[in-house]
Structure 1
């Protein structure tokens, strides 16, 4: 009887799954290590990681544009053990990827308490998201950064706002733009606090629907000072925790003269609206089974709202025509898939970028509908604002920018209606297939650069 209960226990399967994930990933990790001792941006990260790991905090590379959170993590984990070699520095990312799986499982269980097995499968499928999975084997900032952001969200969902703010500071140390995801949870917390002040009888509500938003807006317009003061007094601990992170970041911006440290010319802020479109395409590619299952709903929407659909189509064409920007890196660095996607499709055929607008429309509709149908309108509001700030200000198309927005979307799929099993299976198989294909290309395809002795490899 006890054995049967253990077999049917998702926690047991989570532990077993983590063991299998670790074993397989370790094999992949070792092969990547044997194949290449320096993968693209590791050229800048590895020397600093080694220095910090040896507790030498006086060195810096002006070409590095992020704060030293990754290197400090390496110093904390590896420094006391004297494991500061390339192999172990990279292992920091793999270790963080393993930690991310139970964190994802906690969030899935929070958002979908009834879907125990679906939550388990979704957690591992997300960890296998191909661009994310590859970064788990190299010394990049992305995986540790994601771990910190997930800890922020987990602490917020556990109503531990001081803990969320502490991890928020650590997240910003890994990547400055993570301040947006601290504001993402702080905005939800503040709006919920205002709602409780305006409608105390509804204080136990877990969802913030459109009626709740209207109540808050009405009360704020009626007596903004009174409502704000009352809310602040009632929730001062949580709010001041998030405010402390925000104020500290503003001080950093003032002292640093901008959000980017080091080489500011490579990451100048701009307005690049098609980033929303590229992100929606990214979601479509990796979530195509779910998106496909919603296609009839999109066709119904177009049939019912012909004028609105036409307006969105024309607006999309206008944005693509007037605001398509190309970063020099995209045209020069043939070690990334974006180089080939752009040069063989977007840059080669003038009509291609316009042809993709209906695909963007479909994808953006599914994304918006998915989050709105979860029943938490403030989540949707904060999501749109934060994704806009994170992506639209970037000229460079970089898949790594999409990780957190993608995960936040994926967490909401199936909130009201359970995700069909066939969608989950196909999503998992898609991730596995693309991972196998891209790893094969990494191991077998070499790219010769005259200024490097060792051959370069194709990565995300």
Structure 2
């Protein structure tokens, strides 16, 4: 197993400097005295907890207010109750994501865990959320902690952390289920194999279920909550219905991967071309996906109509006409081929793709925040052809992220 200390000293110092400078710039990004879009929905709940009104629940909140309670406690204890203080508290709950990503990368044998972590941190669709009053990265911190404890075979702690994560975002139940599957793979091999239906194997199966008891507790808690609440979202339920399947979000994920990971696709170009050349069924699959995409691309959610958001500008450009749709499919196809030829570190990790798709299908709102966990785990699970891939990706991310942060700071757009 390689450790970050094995990096050349110059590289280690460079990466540490990038992390520190990026963090300082991130804390200066936002207007200090005004809330920003979804912050306006979260701040009233946090203020209520500042005033110790613990029974108050904002009707606009879609999630259980565990994040809001944690941020209110940290900000009131360490900083203050202003907007900037609250952002600092949220950032303090977000930055441990870097620690757990690093620990996961080291556990999985990344050649340079610090380089992998820096690349993850400066991803343009991740970085701004470390410094705003949004639930996404604090939620991701708990998910990464749950993953690390699962990889470390500390299954009870992993299950309890993932149960706690449901108090920040209920949809984390998908990642709880994935980590439970990872744990069972670790204990049983393939837990879905038919041999576990045979009575002579039930003792081993029962032992594995007993060791991972905390995971199903979380799933049961989620089901009880959905039953009692009458749905997944607490407030603003009409804008977050999950009564249909929307494949648009899956295609948007492919588009994001196609644009974000250009260095990976360039390295995979020959392998992807060979895949099309020697396995013609791949071309058939791409053709069928193109037809499905053209027939089902749906981006008419009310929240996708505000062009202040960069994601909405991409969506609105794509849906403008059929030519734009076809052009947007090009990076999607490239991303899919690249993913098909990118090996993952263990066979059980391929379940990430299944769970990622399942987690996206219920969402009518097209938003990159819904697949932050999927991209994070892909960065951890993939096997790069060479360490320089991370350097190339970092060289792409740094200027793009800087431009985005400047635009956000000038209140010209948000992502």
TM-score (structure 2 length as normaliser): 0.91
Q: Which residue of the partner structure matches residue 178 of structure 2?
A: 184
What are the superposed Cα offsets for residues 257-308 of structure 1, whole Å, 9 maximum, x if unpaired? Answer: 11111111101122112322211221222211012100110100101112x1
Structure 1 pair 137–375 and aligned structure 2 pair: CA distance change class (3 A): closer
Q: Per-residue deviation at 1:254?
A: 0.9
**Whole-angstrom distance in 1 between the partners of 2:81 and 2:287:** 55
1:2-81 paired onto structure 2 within 5 Å: 21-34=19-32, 37-81=34-78
Structure 1 pair 341–191 and aligned structure 2 pair: CA distance change class (3 A): same
**Whole-angstrom distance in 2 between the partners of 1:425 and 1:375:** 20
1:399 aligns with 2:372: no
1:318-333 paired onto structure 2 within 5 Å: 318-333=291-306
Q: Per-residue deviation at 1:39?
A: 0.7
**Whole-angstrom distance in 2 between the partners of 1:164 and 1:325:** 37
Q: Residue 107 of structure 2 aligns to a residue in which SS?
A: helix
1:242 aligns with 2:215: yes
Q: Which residue of the partner structure matches residue 158 of structure 2?
A: 164
Q: How many residues align?
A: 411
Q: 2:64 touches 2:170 (CA, 8 Å); kept in 1?
A: yes
User: Alignment RMSD, CA only?
Assistant: 2.6
Q: Residue 398 of structure 2 aligns to a residue in which SS?
A: helix
Structure 1 pair 241–226 and aligned structure 2 pair: CA distance change class (3 A): farther
Structure 1 pair 152–15 and aligned structure 2 pair: CA distance change class (3 A): farther
Structure 1 pair 233–143 and aligned structure 2 pair: CA distance change class (3 A): same
Q: Per-residue deviation at 1:427?
A: 0.8
**Whole-angstrom distance in 1 between the partners of 2:74 and 2:17:** 21
Q: 1:315 aligns with which of 288, 293, 296?
A: 288
**Whole-angstrom distance in 2 between the partners of 1:240 and 1:248:** 13
Q: Which residue of the partner structure matches residue 419 of structure 1?
A: 386
Q: Which residue of the partner structure matches residue 453 of structure 1?
A: none
What are the superposed Cα offsets for residues 411-459 of structure 1, whole Å, 9 maximum, x if unpaired? Answer: 1222xx65341x2222112111111111222233x5xxxxxxxxxx410
Q: Residue 321 of structure 2 aligns to a residue in which SS?
A: coil
Q: Which residue of the partner structure matches residue 369 of structure 1?
A: 341
1:385 aligns with 2:354: yes
Q: Per-residue deviation at 1:310?
A: 3.3
Q: Which residue of the partner structure matches residue 338 of structure 1?
A: 311
Q: Which residue of the partner structure matches residue 247 of structure 2?
A: 273
Q: Which residue of the partner structure matches residue 149 of structure 1?
A: 143
Q: 1:130 aligns with which of 124, 143, 147?
A: 124
Structure 1 pair 398–80 and aligned structure 2 pair: CA distance change class (3 A): same
1:428 aligns with 2:394: yes
Structure 1 pair 313–30 and aligned structure 2 pair: CA distance change class (3 A): closer
Q: 2:326 aligns with which of 351, 354, 361?
A: 354
Q: Structure 2, unaligned stretches of length 5 or more? A: none
Q: Residue 351 of structure 1 aligns to a residue in which SS?
A: helix
Q: Residue 33 of structure 1 aligns to a residue in which SS?
A: coil
Q: Residue 334 of structure 2 aligns to a residue in which SS?
A: helix
Structure 1 pair 406–51 and aligned structure 2 pair: CA distance change class (3 A): same
Q: Residue 31 of structure 2 aligns to a residue in which SS?
A: helix
Q: Structure 1, unaligned stretches of length 5 or more? A: 1-5, 196-212, 447-456
**Whole-angstrom distance in 1 between the partners of 2:337 and 2:204:** 34
Q: Residue 404 of structure 2 aligns to a residue in which SS?
A: helix
User: Larger Cα Rg: Structure 1 or Structure 2?
Assistant: 1
**Whole-angstrom distance in 1 between the partners of 2:286 and 2:6:** 49
**Whole-angstrom distance in 2 between the partners of 1:359 and 1:398:** 18
Q: Per-residue deviation at 1:243?
A: 1.1
Structure 1 pair 402–247 and aligned structure 2 pair: CA distance change class (3 A): same
**Whole-angstrom distance in 1 between the partners of 2:357 and 2:102:** 27
